[in-house]
Structure 1
Amino acid sequence: MRMLFKASMDTERSNELIRNGKIEGLLKAHLEKIRPEAAYFGVEGGKRTCYLVLDVQESSDLPKLAEPFFMELGAEVQYTPVMNIEELRKGLAQLG
């Protein structure tokens, strides 16, 4: 299932990782492991926020996606099921 994964990072923890030059390596390593369809970065609610579009095969995959953000970045994490336009069309067609 396609998911929108949002991680809002703790400001103090991410500040420290930026100061010591480690944040880029942490994000790069994690993104290489999970291979998102898309990755975007911005600010939401005053916090550095990462938005990833992922194809999650099993619900048991969710901890391996979220735990590095919790543990290394002190992030608040949310998952939201999402569809692309083809999937939306298919779903709407099933309404009859």
Structure 2
Amino acid sequence: MRVLLKATLDTEKSNELIRSGKMADVMREALDHIKPEAAYFGTLGGRRTALLVFDMQDSADMPPIGEPFFLEMNAEVDVCPIMNAEDLGKGLSRLR
């Protein structure tokens, strides 16, 4: 199932990771593990945020996917099923 992970990073913890030079490695490890089809980074609500779109095969994958963001970045993490335009069309056709 295609999901969107939104990780809102703690400012103090991410500042610490950036100053120590570890942020790139921590983020690379997370991305290498998750293998997202799309990854975007920016600010939402004034806080550093990562938005990752990926295929989650099993809900049991949630702990190994989310925990690095919690443990390493003290992030708030949301995971939500999402659809692309093709998925939406397919789902809407099932309403008839």
Secondary structure of 1:61's counterpart equals helix
Match of 1:73 in 2: 73
Distance in 2, matches of 1:34 and 1:15, equals 23
Match of 2:90 in 1: 90
Correspondences of 1:1-96 after superposition (within 5 Å): 1-96=1-96
Please report the TM-score for the alignment, with normalisation by the length of structure 1.
Answer: 0.97
Alignment gaps of 5+ in structure 1: none
Q: How many residues align?
A: 96
Please report the TM-score for the alignment, with normalisation by the length of structure 2.
Answer: 0.97
Query: 1:80: Cα distance to partner?
Result: 1.3
Q: CA RMSD in A?
A: 0.6
4+ residue stretches of structure 1 with deviation over 3 A? none
Distance in 1, matches of 2:54 and 2:43, equals 20
Distance in 1, matches of 2:23 and 2:40, equals 15
Alignment gaps of 5+ in structure 2: none
Structure 2 letter corresponding to 1:64: P
Distance in 2, matches of 1:54 and 1:62, equals 12
Secondary structure of 2:24's counterpart equals helix
Distance in 1, matches of 2:67 and 2:49, equals 16
